[in-house]
Chain A
């Protein structure tokens, strides 16, 4: 007799992997790329296109030459290394001319100034971007525009200091009058006082102090600005200035006061109805006719002002969208708490409206930053067209085509992608609902 030993499992079997066709990349490909005849066909076509593109681009990128003095030399090196029919990128151009793409024609021995201004800019915007940083840093942020102006353009230090005193005057007038006259009137009077200060006192006072205490940097002309220095100066200034302007315009458009509303609507619709190029040509050409001859109204300043106005109109509409999305109850709750208009805006309406508008605001900013390349059409040296034209005018680099675009494009992508990722992070952080 055979004795049967009953089988008793004493331990659990290890969990086994699904069969090869049901896991990992194969499963993913089956589910996502080859789930039906239509999808299979599209996937195969896509694959062929990608392979075709890669077969042209990858050798071109791999054959890239970094050490050469001219395009002809690049071609010779590529022919010598990779055979007569090989093509390759000539990155030597970037190596030789990168400083012009970054700084334009800024004097070479002063490159530390824009570099320092850039680093300080990161410090200045850090407390705005990250709430966890100490709030005292905001004081530096407020001072930064003056520091930056002085670093970039040089000249006497007293000019920005006296401009700053104008803002001090504005704050003083506002503080003294706000309790009696209310926000709009006292802000207006403060502005008048500050404008009078800047127009009448500014120049003689800074000149006077400078003659007593000459502290300054070597001054650099606006026409020496170019490349990404120019793009970032225009872009960052316009971004920083257009947000407050846009908020005011959006509030103006929703205001109950006829005059304010009409002016805001008129401004927004006029600016949005006109292409940016038109405004740039206005800045560069038309203003010269209107102003008295020999008026030296800086071209970069003119461009910044019009780009800011342009951006502000778009931001205003984005924020109006945010305001419209707020439930009516929020406004009524603010009124019920007994807050006045500005308190309600500051404490209840704006924080919510801005949060809703973040994606729109950031895409406006990204668009604005990329639009700074349009200044090439008024003869400024933007990185994409202006500096590239300069590089190509050099007989050594004439005929170079993709490399400058790729170089400028990569830098633009990094900056814009950074902005986009930050806005997504901010959205997640500020998310309070449970959707």
Chain B
């Protein structure tokens, strides 16, 4: 009785939210393809290459998820979403999961009826200035002109930061990252502000990258992560634990190169459970035993994905920073697999 009331409430909530119906996991399995909402184009995080194949940090998570659920990392249909269409695409059921550098905020989680299942990148808003401006801290930017993308949370953060520090600034409104970079280089503004990862990518492609510095202050919290529809907890668990499998794999030293060897030789029971050679965690998720192994094999563990797409070996050269494992002073932490 209690259970049916609970289920009834759940489905009513699902209907109210305009959800395509619970059971996304079954839908994906029946369809044989994962619909993954991605960015139309963000350097390092998700964009199609010259051959039209999607690549990037966020895209790798789509692949891992498809590998875990469907057994094939290529069975993903990427749906490019813009800032305006992304949440509706998820709410209306057009995509199963949105992995599109979306910031986890209270209102998106609670009011828009989504579940952010993890944080795959801890970002924050920073400032870039020209070296010859002679500024070494964002607190010295009083009276500066600042290039800022309109209609984003960064605009509000900027206003908050200057107000809190009792400083004034003149905004120069720009439409997108490319325009901002252009205005900033042309000298229309003293400083350019956006997410620190975006600043790093912009700086990497500037003709005179050495003449620009990114100031140490990070003025906002931008936890970016995958999100699913509210109320579909089974599917939410699948996405969450697929992500945790990648983080745990890095922690235990499981890489795409040594995964087969690890699976057969390891004595660590946690790794065994993760790779499905012991216990049956997969069945609890509604998947088979080797889901975690396939997810890791798809494009490597969290660290490998980071390094391949945005890490120090790439032109973007992002440091791990907050995104290092908890064992190395970062925030990436996977709960135990048991």
Same complex origin of A and B: yes
Q: Mark B31-61, 1 if CB is under 8 A from A, else 0.
A: 0000000011111101111111000000000
- The complex places the Cα of A411 from the Cα of B21 at a distance, in Å, of 45
CB pair A223–B314 under 8 Å, yes or no, is: no
Task: Decide yes or no: A223 and B92 within 8 Å by CB, A100-B52, A289-B18 being known contacts.
Answer: no
Task: Decide yes or no: A379 and B205 within 8 Å by CB, A288-B92, A393-B42 being known contacts.
Answer: no
CB pair A288–B79 under 8 Å, yes or no, is: no
Looking at the assembled complex, report how far the CB atom of B197 sits from the nearest CB atom of chain A, in whole angstroms.
Answer: 13
Looking at the assembled complex, report how far the CB atom of A88 sits from the nearest CB atom of chain B, in whole angstroms.
Answer: 11
CB pair A100–B50 under 8 Å, yes or no, is: yes
Task: Decide yes or no: A395 and B52 within 8 Å by CB, A223-B77, A381-B80 being known contacts.
Answer: no
- Chain B contacts for A97, CB-based, 8 A: 50
- Chain B contacts for A108, CB-based, 8 A: 51-52
A215 in the interface, Cβ–Cβ < 8 Å? no
A96 in the interface, Cβ–Cβ < 8 Å? yes
CB pair B40–A294 under 8 Å, yes or no, is: no
CB pair B52–A224 under 8 Å, yes or no, is: yes
B330 in the interface, Cβ–Cβ < 8 Å? no
- Chain B contacts for A378, CB-based, 8 A: 82, 85
Residue from A381, A390, A395, A401 in contact with B44 in the complex, judged by beta carbons closer than 8 Å: A395
- Chain A contacts for B44, CB-based, 8 A: 395
- The complex places the Cα of A72 from the Cα of B41 at a distance, in Å, of 20
CB pair B84–A71 under 8 Å, yes or no, is: no
- The complex places the Cα of A221 from the Cα of B33 at a distance, in Å, of 13
Interface residues of B in 62-115 (CB under 8 A from A): 77-82, 84-85, 88-89, 92-94
- Chain A contacts for B92, CB-based, 8 A: 285, 288-289
By beta carbon, the residue of chain B nearest A104 is: B52
- Chain A contacts for B21, CB-based, 8 A: 293
Q: Mark A281-316, 1 if CB is under 8 A from B, else 0.
A: 100110011000110000000000000000000000
- Chain B contacts for A376, CB-based, 8 A: 82
By beta carbon, the residue of chain B nearest A277 is: B84
Looking at the assembled complex, report how far the CB atom of B42 sits from the nearest CB atom of chain A, in whole angstroms.
Answer: 6
Interface residues of A in 216-239 (CB under 8 A from B): 221, 223-224
What 8 pairs across the A-B complex have the smallest Cβ distances?
A393-B41, A393-B47, A288-B92, A105-B52, A293-B20, A389-B41, A399-B205, A398-B205
26 CB contacts below 8 A, A to B, read A72-B207, A108-B52, A223-B80, A285-B89, A285-B92, A289-B18, A378-B85, A379-B81, A379-B82, A389-B41, A392-B43, A392-B177, A393-B40, A393-B41, A393-B42, A394-B43, A394-B47, A395-B44, A395-B204, A395-B314, A395-B316, A398-B201, A398-B204, A399-B181, A400-B178, A401-B182
Known: A285-B89, A395-B44. 7 other contacts (CB 8 A): A223-B77, A294-B93, A392-B177, A393-B41, A395-B205, A395-B316, A398-B178
Q: Which residues of A contact B (CB under 8 A)?
A: 71-72, 75, 96-97, 100, 104-105, 108, 221, 223-224, 281, 284-285, 288-289, 293-294, 376-379, 381, 386, 389-395, 398-401
